[in-house]
Structure 1
Amino acid sequence: MKFDKPVIGGPCWAELGTSDLEAAKRFYTEVFGWRARTDPRPEAGGYTIAHVGDAAVAAITPLYQESQPVAWNVSFAVADADAAANKVVEAGGTVIHGPMDVLDEGRFAVALDPSGAAFQLWQARSFAGAGLFNAPGSLGWVELGTRDIKRARDFYTTVFGWSVNASEWYTQWGMHGQDFGGVMAMGDRFPADVPPHWLPYFAVEDVDTTTDVAVRAGGKALLEPTSVPDGPRIAVLRDPQGAALGIYQAGEEG
């Protein structure tokens, strides 16, 4: 991801919904060196912001509904959450929560694309999103896993106006000439019960070392460290509560 700050239409935040807030805080602190601070206000519902230095980089939250899966969620910045939610519906998606105000920080909605992949819309007020990108411990890429790439391209380009940079092997999303994410075809190696989803990738200093730390801390490597041809070294991990996330070598952004 070549952006160094939130850009309208691009990814601005990553948020983990987990079944064990304290265990997740310990795991990610060990893996990424995050400093996690839980908002003490009752109305914040345990919302915890992770920092690298002074910069907010991601959130960890309890599960707020019984139907909510343990998973990482990606938020995309929009100028108007209500207008964006209408575009989602018009393009064939579904809005399952909101739009609603979040204290004085912004307005958001949770949506599903036509295949069922969840994502969030974020209209910033006092909080714009992540204060750091591409540096170790921070968001650097987002990837959609889907079984229908053409339908996904039609949907997301309609809703967000993204550009598409497609090769024979991989499709990348972009804004203003800068690619920030991609699309992974969910083929036979994905069990049928794994739904379409968005996967955030966090930058790390060393993919192999971070994978080892994650496994020792109770996680699992779903994809062992590997070097992508003409791309970065990556791995895909699963945390102890079951949420998947990607990591990649800092300085090798797409």
Structure 2
Amino acid sequence: ALDHRHATVHEGSLNHTGVAEMTLRADWSDLTDFDRALSLVAAALLRDGCTESFDVRRAMAIGILADPARALALINGDQAPVPTKGIVAYLHLSGDAPLGCDPVATDETGRTWLVDTVREWLARNDRFVTVRPVIDLNDHCDGTRHRPGETDPYVPSPLIAEKVRLRDPTCVFPWCTRPARSCDLDHITPYDHGGPTCECNLAALCRHHHRLKTHAGWTYRPLAPGTYLWHDPHGQSFLTTPQGTTDLTYAADTG
């Protein structure tokens, strides 16, 4: 029974309202202690004027307990310290929602959120919010070669790296779904062969597939931003896009 303890967030339960589900299986004494802590924070929220129901306040308490210093300040009635939790989200906001529907925002994974949900996130005082300049994926950032006294231009600038990872949400190797933010940025034309460090010559590859490309005879080239034509050592061809992979060899054989 102890081996089956877990705390699991169910990502599939997440919807456009930002509400999701989590299940806990733990030692009974730990669960009862956690249950009491939720009720303690819920009572403090009521004391400070929160008008939500008891169950909703207990749900709100989960996020508060995730920042122990702020939870302790709330329980003791002290001034809350500066928040330590933050959230990074890349959102495309649009007011062109269908008639009768609420405006929506779309994140970098294609998931849709209600704009009201985003407003609620920004209005919370338990997280810090950083506003960054809009990143235009159509604005090309030129790479540079070595110049005296400069940082090695083999490493992309933060802006170029961010643009590549927004364009390529996952590893661009056929059928790989590893998130781009945990991938290497590969020079499609190798740097030591004259390839520039710019988003037109960089793509997200996980470490395993980066090594296959470098050492195992796999090659690829971009056809359009985010679209790549791959060739394996045996002559098979694959087309990868943010929507998935097409086996061109199989398509040609069956067509």
* TM score, norm. by length of structure 1: 0.25
Which protein is richer in helix relative to its size? 2
* TM score, norm. by length of structure 2: 0.24
- If you compute each CA radius of gyration, which structure gives the higher value, 1 or 2? 2
Which protein is richer in strand relative to its size? 1
The one of the two structures with greater contact order (alpha-carbon pairs below 8 A, sep at least 6) is 1
